[in-house]
Structure 1
Amino acid sequence: MILDMMTAAGATAPTRLDPLQLFLDADIIVQLVIAGLIAASIWVWMIIVSFSMKMGSVKRRCRDFEEDFWQADNPESLLGGRKGKANPSSRVAAAGIEELKSSTSGGVRDRDGTRQRVALAMEGQVAVESDRLAERLNFLATTGSVAPFVGLFGTVWGIMNSFFQIGTQQNSSLAVVAPGISEALFATAIGLFAAIPAVIAYNRFSHRVDNFQARLQRFADKVHAQISRELERA
């Protein structure tokens, strides 16, 4: 009889971890922690995919615009078209040209002052474009920093609950505490699952934004040099 019960128990015992069952069996607090971390992980991957696609598109449009800008006989007409309003490079160039027009509307009186204002206008627009690209990266940094601690909170809570079960059942066998500890450690695993790609993506994307900002600044410097030459001829 005892042998038959042991055989039946062995036949129904799980042979591998079942994440869904761990979640369903967990305490409500641990479930909330896991659900929040899963939602954060999904959002992280959405940012990763969307940012990768956006960055590639922005670079391509900027490269095409800059090629057209240097070949155009009248850059202002290019800036006024639909293509000239759809990328960071065009907005940087437009900021410089608009400042030039404002500073020279009554004639060229102070060339050095005009050059400085044009440079400041374009540098400010470069910063704006960089901030616009990086605005969603803060969530990656926050998730990478906070998710492991949130998962750890779920783990601590689950272990506390396991010790509570020991006290209420007055039984310290592994069969009593093992399920609760497994559910608790699952929260830490989900926290790391959310944090690791977030940290990697944040570091990688921050580097790409920095490179793009430097590229925009080089374009702004070239535009500024062209404007300076025009001011000297004025």
Structure 2
Amino acid sequence: MVTHSGPVVAAVLALLVAASLGSWTIIFRKLLQLRRAREQSSRFLETFWRSKRLDQIYKVADELPLSPIAQVFRAGYVELSKVTQSQPQADASMHDQLSGFENVERALGRAANAELTTLEASIPFLGTTAAAAPFVGLFGTVWGIMGAFRDIYQVGNANLATVARPISEALIATAVGLFAAVPALVAYNAFNSRIRVLENEMRNFSADFLNIIKRHIFKKAA
């Protein structure tokens, strides 16, 4: 298929095919990961707002490892348990309780950042492929056309039959570059949009959870 284009164009095509295969692997993995994250997060939020006991919610969160919101709750609950054990409500001052509240807030923030990092893993590869693949393909095409004209000059025969095949082979590089770039670009934008939704849900849940804890602190102090 590229017998007349030379080793450079062949290397470009191999690189683009590898990038395309890598992109499709990431696309299928991310589709599955984000779908499960969404489904498990919906289940967790339903349980969270229905249940009256944090320990029961924690048990449910343990069963939903792919839900970023559930994992954020787990981190906050663990920190809240540590604070509660170290500062019994009967003995803790308002200052101590608010200090413990800040510890929980930091734990929720760290967990949300960790979950966001997990969700965004491999996404930059899609962005890089989308941005670079067309130019890599164009480079292969230009190189192939240069080689075709060089061969024509050496042979001294510039009829259509001589020119058409090497140039058409060189143009394959641009086509493969676009084939690699377009799905990667679509997936990159779609995944980033879904991840931003999950990020907002994590931040909103953290704020709601902190409000519940704060109301509990002031209720005890009243």
**In 1: Cα distance, 2:193 partner to 2:106 partner:** 24
**In 2: Cα distance, 1:86 partner to 1:143 partner:** 27
Equivalenced residue count is: 213
Structure 2 counterpart of 1:194: 180
Relative to the length of structure 2, the TM-score reads 0.87
> Which of 22, 25, 43 is 1:64 aligned to?
43
Structure 2 counterpart of 1:213: 199
> Which of 83, 95, 99 is 2:79 aligned to?
99
How far the C-alpha of 1:49 sits from its partner, in A, is 2.3
Corresponding position: 1:41 with 2:20: yes
**In 1: Cα distance, 2:213 partner to 2:64 partner:** 18
Corresponding position: 1:223 with 2:202: no
2:143 is matched by which residue type in structure 1? W
Structure 1 counterpart of 2:140: 154
1:151 is matched by which residue type in structure 2? G
Rg larger for: 1
Percent of residue pairs identical: 35
Structure 1 counterpart of 2:170: 184
Cα distance change of structure 1 residues 42 and 75 upon mapping to structure 2, 3 Å threshold:
same
RMSD: 1.9
Corresponding position: 1:117 with 2:103: yes
Deviations 1:4-28 (A, max 9, x none): xxxxxxxxxxxxxxxxx3x344322
Are 1:166 and 1:177, in contact at CA under 8 Å, matched by a contact in 2? yes
Are 2:5 and 2:147, in contact at CA under 8 Å, matched by a contact in 1? no
Deviations 1:27-62 (A, max 9, x none): 222122112212211222222222122211111111
Are 1:38 and 1:194, in contact at CA under 8 Å, matched by a contact in 2? yes
Deviations 1:118-148 (A, max 9, x none): 2222122112111111111111001011111
How far the C-alpha of 1:178 sits from its partner, in A, is 2.1
Corresponding position: 1:126 with 2:112: yes
How far the C-alpha of 1:106 sits from its partner, in A, is 2.8
1:93 is matched by which residue type in structure 2? F
**In 2: Cα distance, 1:94 partner to 1:78 partner:** 9
How far the C-alpha of 1:86 sits from its partner, in A, is 4.5
Cα distance change of structure 1 residues 117 and 219 upon mapping to structure 2, 3 Å threshold:
same
How far the C-alpha of 1:214 sits from its partner, in A, is 0.2
